[in-house]
Structures are given as structure tokens and as C-alpha cells.
Amino acid sequence: MSQISPQDMANIKVLLRGALAAAAPGLVPLVALVSVNAVDVLTYVPLDRFGLAAAFVVLTSMGYLLWRGRWWAGLPALLSAAAATVYFSIKFVRPLSAYLKANDINNLGEHLWSLVVLAPSLVLILVSLTAGLVVYKGIQMARKLGPRPVSPVVWGVVILWLLLLAGDAVYQHYVWRYLQRPSDMVVRLCVGKPQLRAEAEGYLIRMQGKAVPELLAGMAVADTGLECLRQSSRQVLVKMGASVQPELLDAARAGSLEALVVLRDIGDPRVAEKLLEIYNASGRQHTPEYDDLLREIIVQLNPTIHLKP
């Protein structure tokens, strides 16, 4: 086995560092995939979770291809590092400028304190610059050494996930209107321009009972940042009105607090008798919160009904 020369080893290390840095942007869709809700994903990136998975595979594959001497595979990471540097620089300069204008700073200590406050932004700027420099050196080395063989399987995987990524992007821009998935439409009540939100609402109203389970799920989301989704789902169900009361009653029988709330909002007095049947048949099998709300709504819809404690 022939020994690797010190220069070759140095070149390999440069390429390896460049490949790792080129794969680093793949962490962004990976983190979004596992930690961000669907509304936030579609708000900032027009991709679904499947599209984020495709972006992760494609971006990490770019690191491998740079390692195999395809210099162009480092370009997405180089552009990402440049964009991140500009973004974090703006995030640093704007508050620093506002701080300096708002405070009469005359000594070095106060200047240093303002920098300490903004230290996280400085760190991110440094990380972005360093990553860009490492990728740039890797690209230079890849061009100098020339490409090495890449398995057809790897090319196939990259092309397949690129197609999946493109397909998801096309779906988010156009195809969602034709497939009309209720869960997708509910998310779109809080995504995009007002006309797109109104379009999604119109589709849901036309779906009628088919959309009720997903709208109730939208009302029940626990994420504190999804108040828009809770309120929008509730408003759509109220607009559907009496036409979806059978589905809401079925959900109420199953213990859905959200269904009870919507039935109260619709305010049809005729529903009180149906709710009374649920109350009498439940045998207090639900939570005290459910029972209290059910009693309250029955009396509110029909004050002539007297319930036994």
C-alpha cells in the first residue's frame, strides 16, 4: 500500500473541511423539520416537511460531491454563508446604531458594553465568514485536483431528491388548489397573502362536513404561537353553521371541547335537546371541564331546560 504524501494529506484535509462546511446548510431544513410547526414552515419557506427532508438530503449531498472534486457543489454553501454574513451584519449594525444614538457614550467601557450586548450577532457573523472561507478553500482545492469518480447510485439519489424538492415547491405554489386536502387548507388559513387565506377558507367551507375534523384539530393545537390557527379554524366552523352541526355533535359525543365551543358560537337553540341527550347519556364519563361546559351551553341555548346537578 502506497503512502500518502504530506502534501496530499494536507489537500485531503482541506477538501474534507470544505465538504463538511458545504454540508452545514443542510442543518437548517433538518432543524426546521423536527422543531417548527407547519404554519411557520410555510410562512418562511414555501415547502412542506417532505420538501424540507428533500432539501436536507440535497444540501448534505453537496458536501459529498465537493469532497469528490465537484467544485460547483460548494456554491450553494458559499452563497448561504455570504447571505448569512450580510443578514447577521444588518442584525448587528441596526441595534448598535440605535443604541449609540439613544445613549450619550463618551468612554471606551460603554462602547465595549454595547458590543457585549450584541455579542451573539458578532459570533454568528464570525461563524458565517469562517464557513464561507472554508468552503472557498475547498472549492479552490477541488478545482486544482480535479474530480474523482462518483457512484451512479449517488447521482441517482441526488437527482431523485432534487425532483422531490422541485415537486414539493410546485405543489406549494400551484397544486394544493387542485388536491384540496383539508389538513393543508386549514394550515393555509394563516399562511400567505389575505387573498390566499380567503381562498383556503372558501375551499374549506365548500368541503362542509369533510373538513370538520381537521378544523377541530386546528382549534385544538397547543402551540402558543398558533393563536391565528385556533381562531381561524373556529371562525370557519361558525361560518359553516347549521350544515355541519351533525358532525359537531358527533365530535361532542366523543368528548371534543372544541366542538362544544363551536356549537355555542353557532347558537342554534334546537341543538340544546341533542346536547341534553349527550349529557344524560354520558354518565359523567368525560372530564369535569367538559361536563361544566356542556351544562353551561345547554342552559345558554335553551334557558327553559333545568339540569340536575
Question: pLDDT, tens digit, for every residue of 7-64?
Answer: 878 888 899 999 999 999 999 999 999 888 888 888 888 889 999 999 999 999 999 9
Mean per-residue pLDDT for 73-90? 93
Give mean pLDDT, residues 74-90.
Answer: 93
Instruction: Please tell me the predicted confidence (pLDDT) of residue 128.
Output: 93
User: Which one has a higher pLDDT value, 177 or 93?
Assistant: 177
* Closest alpha carbon to 262 in 209, 227, 216: 216
CA–CA separation, 77 vs 66, rounded Å? 11
Long-range contacts of 66-69 (CB under 8 A, 24+ apart): 66/15, 66/18, 66/19, 66/22, 66/135, 66/138, 66/139, 66/142, 67/15, 67/16, 67/18, 67/19, 68/147, 68/148, 68/149, 68/150, 69/15, 69/142, 69/145, 69/146, 69/147, 69/148
**Average pLDDT rounded to a whole number, residues 214-225:** 91
**pLDDT in the model for residue 5:** 79
DSSP letter string over 11-42?
HHHHHHHHHHHHHGGGHHHHHHHHHS-HHHHH
Determine how many CB atoms are found less than 10 A away from the CB of residue 33. 17
pLDDT tens, position by position, 240-251: 998 999 999 999
Mean pLDDT score across all residues of the chain: 88
pTM listed for this prediction: 0.78
The pLDDT of residue 100 is 66
Across 177-181, average pLDDT: 89
Contact status, residue 205 vs residue 189, Cβ threshold 8 Å: no
**For residue 305, what pLDDT band results from cuts at 50, 70 and 90?**
confident
Residue 110 has pLDDT above 60, yes or no: no
The single-letter code of the amino acid at 64 is: Y
